[in-house]
Amino acid sequence: MAMRQPIESGVPDNKQYLHPTLLKNYGNWKYHDRPRPGVLHHVSHSGDEVWSVRAGTQRQMDIYTIRKLCDIADTYAEGHVRFTIRSNIEFMVSDPNKVAPLIAALGENGFPVGGTGNSVSMIAHTQGWLHCDIPGTDASGAVKALMDELHEEFIHEDMPNRVHLSTSCCEINCGGQADIAIIVQHTRPPKINHDLVANVCERPAVVARCPVAAIRPALVNGKPSLEVDEKKCICCGACYPPCPPMQINDPEHSKLAIWVGGKNSNARGKPTFMKMVMSGLPNNPPRWPEVSAVVKKILQTYKEDARSWERVSDWVERIGWPRFFEKCDLPFTKYLIDDWRGSRANLNASTHIRF
């Protein structure tokens, strides 16, 4: 009888996938530099060298695109690729003469080479409507529309410092803390389809998931269902994944907000949380022009006004938030003020938080 195979779980050992030169020199690198935007050059203590060519992708890829990228890796690189956390693909070569033909092949196939150093990186983005766990909505489309307009900033390194962008449906995980983030903003409580709740939802799980205890079991038309206390509801969308009949997405009332000034790195300054600077932008497919216009205005102002090596948060810290709003021509509205009024009552209503 065949031996029972171990259950596959956790992160696989990455060494089996590494380019042979990377494997050979693992942990033994001397320095790296960037011969041009989109190319990293690593030199090992052993004298080995590797050039990594970074290109932008659309993140959510069809099988044909993956095959095309693999063919480029086999023909022009050395058969190994890896993906960065911002969904760029990197091809590794150990011969400098392979770099230019590889860049040309990527360009011919529509993959821009860039995203290194002081460039605008590819946008880290949520799975959106594919399977975002909380308030899934459009993400790839807004990312594509914006990056089409920021193409030049991706392939050049002209920013004061690196700029990380993100798009997400909540403001925590997928986007992390970005210099500029586009975040979904629902503004109305979920609409409940009572005919479906009893068949689809585990009602206790839904009730437990609401962070402000706004959901109660209810009997509607003789069937078990749920009801929402709309005064308490903060429109977070957490009830939607365990109970799709609680539809939170709305063509008119689901908006997009822009947040600014987050960073995960602790280089030159502490990590920072981003803050909302624009709310209620229309979720306007297919090109989301209002969102792109605000992001581009902030980027342009940062590019002109920040000193060398200032991240967006360092720049805002130096000039102050009032000047930031003035310089970027953004209105400061009541929707940007988080005074936590009522939070004591709301949070204490949850079973999890007491103060």
- Which residues contribute to the site for ligand SF4 (CB under 6 A)? 126-127, 132-134, 168-170, 172-174, 189-190, 209-210, 212, 214-215, 228, 233-239, 248
Phi, psi of 247 (to 5 degrees): -75, 120
DSSP string, 55-95: EE--SS--HHHHHHHHHHHHHHS-S-EEE-TTSEEEEEES-
- What is d(CA 22, CA 42) in angstroms, rounded to the nearest whole number? 10
Nearer to ligand SF4, 127 or 284 (CB): 127
Nearer to ligand SF4, 88 or 249 (CB): 249
Residues 6 or more apart in contact with residue 235 via CB below 8 angstroms: 186, 187, 188, 189, 248
Nearer to ligand SF4, 39 or 274 (CB): 274
Nearer to ligand SF4, 237 or 245 (CB): 237
Closest contact distance (angstroms) between CB of 277 and ligand SF4 is: 19
Closest contact distance (angstroms) between CB of 271 and ligand SF4 is: 18
Closest contact distance (angstroms) between CB of 169 and ligand SF4 is: 4
Closest contact distance (angstroms) between CB of 240 and ligand SF4 is: 7
Nearer to ligand SF4, 99 or 239 (CB): 239
Tell me the one-letter amino acid at 136: G
Closest contact distance (angstroms) between CB of 258 and ligand SF4 is: 15
DSSP string, 309-334: T--HHHHHHHH-HHHHHHHTT----G
Nearer to ligand SF4, 141 or 190 (CB): 190
- What is d(CA 79, CA 50) in angstroms, rounded to the nearest whole number? 14
Closest contact distance (angstroms) between CB of 183 and ligand SF4 is: 8
- What is d(CA 290, CA 233) in angstroms, rounded to the nearest whole number? 27
Beta strands 165-168 and 180-186 are parallel
Nearer to ligand SF4, 197 or 238 (CB): 238
Closest contact distance (angstroms) between CB of 279 and ligand SF4 is: 17
DSSP string, 182-206: EEEEE-SPPEE-HHHHHHH--HHHH
